Amino acid sequence: MRQRGLKILRVAGAAAVFAGLTAALVDFRGAVPPVVGQGLASIQFVPSAVALATGAGVALACLVILVVTLAAGRIYCSAICPLGIFQDIVARLAGWVRGKKALLPYRPARTWIRQLFLWGGVAGMVAGGAGLTLSLLDPYSIYGRIASGLFRPVVTLANNALVDLIRALGGESLYRVIPPWAGVAALAVPAVMLALVAGLAAWRGRIYCNTVCPVGTLLGLVSARSAWQLSLDPGACRKCGDCLRDCKAQCIDLRSGTIDSSRCVACYNCLDACREAGIGYRWTWRKRSAKPASPPVPGANHAASAADPQRRAFIATAVLSLTTIAGADRLLAVTAAGNDPSARPGAKDEKSPTGSRRPNYSRAICPPGAGSVDRFLDTCTACHLCVSACPTHVLQPAFLEYGFLGLLKPRLDYTDAFCNFDCRRCAEVCPDGALGLLPLAQKQVTRIGVAEFDVERCIVKTKGTDCAACSEHCPTKAVDTIPYGDNLRLPQVNQELCIGCGACEFACPSKPDKAITVAGQRRHDQAKRGKEEKARDPRRGNAFPF
């Protein structure tokens, strides 16, 4: 049996997953339903593992992936992981540019490099940097940042270029959108990763997956002991080398007649390429046949045991599992402590922008549903699906606003937008539980920051003109006005009602510095419920927010 149908199923599944995730990540008009991005992101290995470790709902996708890998190899890497699928696309395009497929002969595994990234990642988790470690090494999150930070602005520019053409033809289906470029510093990491991954894929196929990616290495340890493995049939294989032209993992060794199952990504290209049906799935969990006893040789049993590659793989997998459990325990500990910053070692108070000393101050504002900045940084893998899904684009990737451990994590930037009072889109799409989906009524009183008013910057005082833009756009009426001067009214803030949504800061016309700004809270709490009004978007209608 040639089993060619497996490649068709793999390609169809990979195309569906990649198209759906990419559409959600590059969506700049909110056209993709949240369930699409959240559903496809939730079946990714690392987000599912984080959600399972932190108890964020029922997240069993990572366990299913491990079971499937133990049964039939690294199907996840070829059909579900978007970064792996992206590498296949790059390799195929590179082949078209070259005009022919590159012959990729068997190369021995670079085991020490694979172990370095794998155990380095585990060490980073155990040491307390789980959030940063996972965000930098998780292949899904790497692709998420590439698509959201780099592909999405390019797609937006392409949309804008088509607007005039469509309108010239009498169409009104498109409209111009400001390209959602993040800061240069925040784009540097995804740009470097794009160049690295694409360059390696164009050069040698899946070398990144089998050398750098720790998820690939972990699944490779499991795949090495899988029940069904792709194997060469010595009686049918003629060593023609056709399979080498289609093997993207360089794991087929024709000289020894073996396939390195730890590096095989189950793309099934070799099944389609072999004209002699010399490659196929074969059951490997057979009982060993009894052999005649031979005279014992001193030290032979010890040497055989040490030389058994399957035994070494089993020991490595067991040790890795125990270490990963320790990392998960650490993740649970810091997640629980994230609700109380004082319980975390080294937690210090910081100064607010006005100079007052507040123990709950944070330089960056994390979204509602995070619970606290500490919990958010420990659990968020920075896939940026929420950044793409945010309808007001108030979510932006951080550089050092959270500190080094918060590199690339989403933050609220009120410079050009604010958090909609009735919106929960970021939590609706979050795949790893870093943002819990709060009931709307609870979200509307969840305080992520507090507004602080500087009268010396307010145009009511500096220019003697009436304004009240901040009060008009506050959805909880935490900002009100009091009589001031000659028939003027000066803003005042009731911080007990403020939830830190940023509508006031965004609407404030004071330049170059805003008169009213929102200071983030490290630990979220509940505001008092006041008179609720939907925040109006100052960008609609009048060109001025007052």
> Looking at residues 125-146, what average pLDDT do you find?
93
Domain ends where: 234, 249, 283?
283
d(CA 117, CA 220): 13
Q: Which of 77-81, 245-249, 396-400 has the lowest mean pLDDT?
A: 245-249
| Residue 342: predicted pLDDT | 37
Is residue 425 assigned to a domain?
no
How confident is the model over 488-514, as a mean pLDDT? 93
Query: Is 474 domain-assigned?
Result: yes
* Most confident region among 93-97, 147-151, 289-293, 488-492 by mean pLDDT: 147-151
Q: Which of 76, 14, 434 is nearest to 63 (CA)?
A: 76
> Can you give the pLDDT at residue 359?
78
pLDDT for residue 306 is more than 90: no
The mean pLDDT value for 485-503 works out to 91
What is the structure's pLDDT at 346?
36
On the question of pLDDT at 350 being above 60, the answer is no
Helix (H), strand (E) at residue 192:
helix 184-204
Confidence label for 238 from pLDDT (cuts 50, 70 and 90): confident
Judge whether residue 7 has pLDDT over 80. Answer: yes
56 belongs to a structural domain: yes
CB 28 within 8 A of CB 96: no
The pLDDT of residue 103 is 72
Q: Is pLDDT above 60 for 139?
A: yes
Give the pLDDT confidence of 58-71 residue by residue, as tens digits: 678 999 999 999 99
Point out the domain boundary residue: 250, 283, 316: 283
Q: Report how many domains make up the chain.
A: 2
Provide the percentage of residues in the chain whose pLDDT is more than 70: 82
Residues 212 and 199: their CA atoms lie apart, in Å, by 14
373 occurs within a structural domain: no
- Residue 429 pLDDT grade (very low, low, confident, very high; cuts 50, 70, 90): very high
Q: What is the pLDDT of residue 322?
A: 46
What are the angstrom distances between the C-alpha of 142 and each of 16, 463, 494?
19, 48, 41
Residue 146 lies in a domain: yes
Whether pLDDT at 377 is above 90? yes
Q: What is the mean pLDDT of the chain?
A: 84
CB atoms within 10 A of CB 115: 15
CA 258, CA 237: separation in Å to the nearest integer? 11
List pLDDT tens digits, range 254-270. Answer: 888 899 999 999 999 88
In whole angstroms, give the CA distance from residue 199 to residue 221. 26
Mean pLDDT computed over 33-45: 94
The residue out of 254, 283, 312 marking a domain boundary is 283
Give 353's pLDDT tier (boundaries 50, 70, 90). Answer: very low
What CATH number is given to the structural domain containing 532? Answer: 3.30.70.20
Average pLDDT over residues 375-402: 94
CB 217 within 8 A of CB 114: yes
454, with CB counted inside 10 A (0-12, 13-18, 19+), is middle
430 has a pLDDT exceeding 70: yes
What 3-state class would DSSP assign to 414? coil
| pLDDT confidence of residue 348 | 43
Residue 43 makes CB contacts below 8 A (sequence gap 6+) with 61, 80
Predicted confidence (pLDDT) at residue 533 exceeds the cutoff of 90: no
Inside any domain, residue 152: yes
- Residue 142: which domain range? 5-283
Rounded mean pLDDT, 520-524: 95
Give 180 or 519, the one with higher predicted confidence.
519
Asked if the model's pLDDT at residue 526 lies above 70, the reply is yes
Tell me, yes or no, whether 262 lies in a domain: yes
Closest CA to 209 of 110, 330, 291: 110
Residue 247 in domain? yes
**pLDDT at 89 > cutoff 70:** yes
> What average pLDDT score do residues 235-256 get?
87
Q: Which of 177-181, 248-252, 311-315, 487-491 is least confident?
A: 311-315
| Top mean-pLDDT range of 174-178, 449-453, 541-545 | 449-453
